[in-house]
């Protein structure tokens, strides 16, 4: 017998509009009907939205941790706890993200992902791994551990790619020796190559794009802007991102990594369709301020959470964010001046398109997975549903 749910009496955030008073039918974890009216049903379990918003679930395509845990901790428990903590704030699916590390630690994290993915039934769904590093520029390391930074090595990455089908994205600096062939290898396996932690100039980015790099990781953070070479000005990765319409970007919209004028500028130039919101959250997300470890508890580096962001202990640089997806949407409305509909699209439909899962995620459309949120006017999450299952409900 089909398990049927009906969510009604809310303002539905649809792909092209916000519909007042509509309803949505969910059958066996899939959306089977969407209407501007209250759909008549006989045996469905009813969920009254109470006049609040009914939204597609938020997709976080770049997240390292939360709730005191990091994906690099190397435990199934850490994976599951991170999935649960972020579900409370509206994340219905995510791409667990690594940090620059030894090959052994990276392989262990990928092994743990496989096990955790089978046991993840109470939090945001895992859609595949995002590897950030170790192929990055030392000059743009940020909070990445410089001990493990290295150039792309075919013997290493081909072995990793042969072992794991869970890798869906890999971020690297395209100016490094061997990085263009690395990008071509990733594209041949339908993995997204992304530009990150880089000192590339415009000409490097053009070559990278031709080799398959189509996305910019945490736009503005750990990447070159206008620079000089032998006295001549060169456009950096930031300017390349603006000039090349084909490139998509992701932004840490915590209001700290990128203050309001930057959020407004990015939206004005790149637009909703090419800009995804990400948390880039570390283990301090959902936790009070204080000291944390960035990366694994065993091999990570110290950081401190204060002023709503993670910093290196000497406060010389940010060390990831402690944002949650609801905060990102709120900030795009309050700081960037976006309408709610556009802010939600940047947290749902746009990351779904970039990561190649728009056929099943990112919008309230018949046939897609029933990843649904209910939240109030302040984007405070009241219910999180993943594949038709309620994983969080506010008291």
Mean pLDDT of the chain: 96
Counting beta carbons within 10 angstroms of the beta carbon of residue 35, is it exposed (0 to 12), middle (13 to 18) or buried (19 or more)? middle
Domain boundaries, the chain: 4-55+371-393, 58-354
pLDDT confidence of 19, banded at 50, 70, 90? Answer: very high
Average pLDDT for residues 117-140, to the nearest whole number?
97
Residue 312 confidence (pLDDT) = 87
Tell me how far CA of residue 364 lies from CA of 8, 203, 235, 367, in angstroms. 13, 40, 40, 9
Tell me how far CA of residue 361 lies from CA of 30, 39, 56, 68, 345, in angstroms. 10, 23, 8, 28, 12
Tell me 281's DSSP state.
B
The SS3 call for residue 10 is strand
Residue 2 confidence (pLDDT) = 66
Tokens of residue 278, six digits: 């990400």
For residue 1, pLDDT over 80 is answered with no
Tokens of residue 380, six digits: 């405070």
Name the nearest CA neighbour of 56 among 14, 87, 89. Answer: 14
Residue 105 confidence (pLDDT) = 94
Half-sphere exposure of 168 (CA within 13 A, CB side): 19
Q: Decide if 178 contacts 151 (C-beta within 8 A).
A: yes
> Per residue in 183-199, pLDDT tens?
999 999 999 999 999 99
Pairwise CA distance, residues 105 & 300, whole Å: 11
Residue 243 confidence (pLDDT) = 98
Pairwise CA distance, residues 279 & 322, whole Å: 7
Pairwise CA distance, residues 126 & 323, whole Å: 19
Residue 199 confidence (pLDDT) = 97
Tokens of residue 219, six digits: 């736009």
Name the nearest CA neighbour of 283 among 120, 64, 128, 133. Answer: 64
> Per residue in 205-235, pLDDT tens?
999 999 999 999 999 999 999 998 888 999 9
Q: Strand pairing partners for 170?
A: 131, 193
pLDDT confidence of 299, banded at 50, 70, 90? Answer: confident
Tokens of residue 184, six digits: 């071509």
Cα 281 to its chain centre, rounded Å, is 9
Residue 317 confidence (pLDDT) = 84
Is the pTM for the entire model greater than 0.95?
Answer: yes
Average pLDDT for residues 359-386, to the nearest whole number?
98
For residue 319, pLDDT over 90 is answered with no
For residue 106, pLDDT over 80 is answered with yes
Between CA 292 and CA 298, with CA 296 as vertex, the angle to 5 degrees is 100
Half-sphere exposure of 106 (CA within 13 A, CB side): 25
Residue 325 confidence (pLDDT) = 98
Residue with tokens 């099943």: 360
Summary count for the chain: helices (H), strands (E): 10, 25
> Per residue in 33-68, pLDDT tens?
999 999 999 889 999 999 999 999 999 999 999 999
Tell me 103's DSSP state.
H
CATH of 4-55+371-393, one of 2.30.40.10, 2.40.40.20, 3.40.50.150, 3.30.565.10: 2.30.40.10
pLDDT over 70 for what percent of the chain?
99
Q: What are phi and psi of 29, to 5 degrees?
A: 85, 0
Question: What is the homologous superfamily of the domain 58-354 according to CATH?
Answer: Metal-dependent hydrolases (3.20.20.140)
The 3-state secondary structure of 219-272, one letter per residue: CCCCECCCEEECCEEECEHHHHHHHCCCCEEEEECCCCCCCHHHHHHHHHHHCC
């Amino acid at each position: 017998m089909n398990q049927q749910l009906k969510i009604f009496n809310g303002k539905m955030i649809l792909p092209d509009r916000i519909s007042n008073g509509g309803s949505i039918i969910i059958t066996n974890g899939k959306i089977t009907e969407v209407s501007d009216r209250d759909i008549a049903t006989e045996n469905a379990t009813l969920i009254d939205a109470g006049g609040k918003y009914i939204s597609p679930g938020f997709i976080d395509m770049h997240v390292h941790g939360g709730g005191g845990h990091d994906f690099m901790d190397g435990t199934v428990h850490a994976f599951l706890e991170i999935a649960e903590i972020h579900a409370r704030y509206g994340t219905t699916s995510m791409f667990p993200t690594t940090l620059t590390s030894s090959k052994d630690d990276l392989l262990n994290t990928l092994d743990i992902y496989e096990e955790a993915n089978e046991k993840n039934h109470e939090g945001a769904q895992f859609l595949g791994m995002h590897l950030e590093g170790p192929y990055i520029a030392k000059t743009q390391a940020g909070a990445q551990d410089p001990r493990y930074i290295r150039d792309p090595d075919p013997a290493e990455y081909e072995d990793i790619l042969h072992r794991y089908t869970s890798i869906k994205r890999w971020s690297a600096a395209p100016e490094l020796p061997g990085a263009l062939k690395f990008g071509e290898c990733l594209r041949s396996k339908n993995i997204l190559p992304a530009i990150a932690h880089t000192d590339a100039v415009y000409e490097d980015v053009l070559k990278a794009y031709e080799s398959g790099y189509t996305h910019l990781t945490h736009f503005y953070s750990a990447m070159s802007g206008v620079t000089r070479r032998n006295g001549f000005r060169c456009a950096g990765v930031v300017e390349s991102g603006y000039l090349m319409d084909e490139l998509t970007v992701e932004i840490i919209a915590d209001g700290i990594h990128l203050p309001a004028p930057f959020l407004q500028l990015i939206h004005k130039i790149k637009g909703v369709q090419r800009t995804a919101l990400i948390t880039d959250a570390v283990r301090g997300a959902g936790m009070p301020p204080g000291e944390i470890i960035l990366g694994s508890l065993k091999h990570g580096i110290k950081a401190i959470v204060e002023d709503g962001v993670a910093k290196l202990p000497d406060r010389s640089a940010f060390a990831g964010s402690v944002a949650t997806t609801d905060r990102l949407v709120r900030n795009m409305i309050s700081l960037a001046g976006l309408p709610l509909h556009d802010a939600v699209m940047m947290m749902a439909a746009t990351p779904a398109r970039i990561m190649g899962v728009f056929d099943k995620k990112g919008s309230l459309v018949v046939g897609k997975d029933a990843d649904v949120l209910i939240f109030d006017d302040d984007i405070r999450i009241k219910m999180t549903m993943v594949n038709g299952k309620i994983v969080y409900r506010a008291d």
